[in-house]
Homo-oligomer: A and B are copies of this chain.
Amino acid sequence: MSSYGRSYSSESYAPSAPSQPESYRQQERDRGASGSARPQPSGYGVHQNQQYQQHPPAYGQGQSSSSSGYSGFPPGTHPDVIRSFEMVDVDRSGYIDEKELQRALSSGYQRFNLRTIRLLMFLFKNPHDALRIGPKEFAALWSCLGQWRAIYDRYDRDRSGKIDLFELRDALYGLGYAVPPSVLQILMSKYDDGSGRKIELGFDSFVECGLILKGLTEKFKEKDKRYVGQATFNYDEFMSTVLPFLVAYD
């Protein structure tokens, strides 16, 4: 197994939303629940001069890691997270595979499509076992999903239970990524069922889009040191940047 995936820190896949400036929050209140267009900054990055601030994890703040026999969970892991893990780890191996992860998340969130599960497995995989994750990875993954869930609920402004192109754009903008609709359209075509209906994302697809867009944008930013919206890659760098995202889909 190539060690390449390990260079991605699981941490970096949380949405890591920057705090909103007060003026932006006021604008949002003024706009109410509408997803109407507003002037977008040019370039992909907004808030670049602000301090980034991690969202608090959705679960597991200051709670004991229960009386479980699993020692691998970080201190403070919420008992629900441990229970979800235990419930699916039927052979008590301390590791779960993609099908088990799918079952565990379905209990805590909703049904996840296997493609998103595989992307999550890839991003959160432990260095010793490419095909399974342990308690530590599971807790990180669960916390990350809690953060994405909060974003999802916040930007589903029409309370449709789905995120459309403009809500996705706004959610990403809120996270500090000004991704043009033309780029989002390419990614959202992945979810086109051919019916001609407007494409909307359930939570699992929203997470998939978010992870891909955040991941690629961060990679671009690493090469765009002066923050001018341009990045120069040599061939090896380009291929080594892009291929892991393709490898993730197994």
Give residues in A with beta carbon < 8 Å to B.
1-2, 4-5, 43-44, 115, 129-131, 179-180, 182-183, 185-190, 192, 194, 212-213, 216-217, 220, 224, 229-236, 238-240, 242-247, 249-250
Contact = CB atoms under 8 A, between A and B. Distances in A.
Contacts of A212: 243, 246
Contacts of A249: 115, 246, 249
B232 A232 contact: yes
A2 B186 contact: yes
A169 to B, nearest CB: 13
- Would you list the 5 A-B pairs with minimal beta carbon distance, nearest first? A2-B189, A44-B235, A249-B249, A232-B232, A183-B239
* Chain A contact residues: helix, strand, loop or mixed: helix
B194 A216 contact: no
Given A186-B244, A246-B246, A249-B246, A220 B194 contact: no
8 contacts: A2-B188, A4-B186, A129-B194, A182-B240, A190-B247, A229-B234, A230-B234, A232-B232
Contacts of A213: 239
A1 B186 contact: no
Contacts of A180: 236
B236 A183 contact: yes
Contacts of A229: 234-235
A216 B234 contact: no
B185 A4 contact: yes
A182 B220 contact: no
Contacts of A189: 1-2, 4-5, 247
A26 to B, nearest CB: 28
A179 B238 CA distance: 12
Nearest to A1: B192
Interface centre among A1, A224, A244 (most CB of B within 10 A): A1
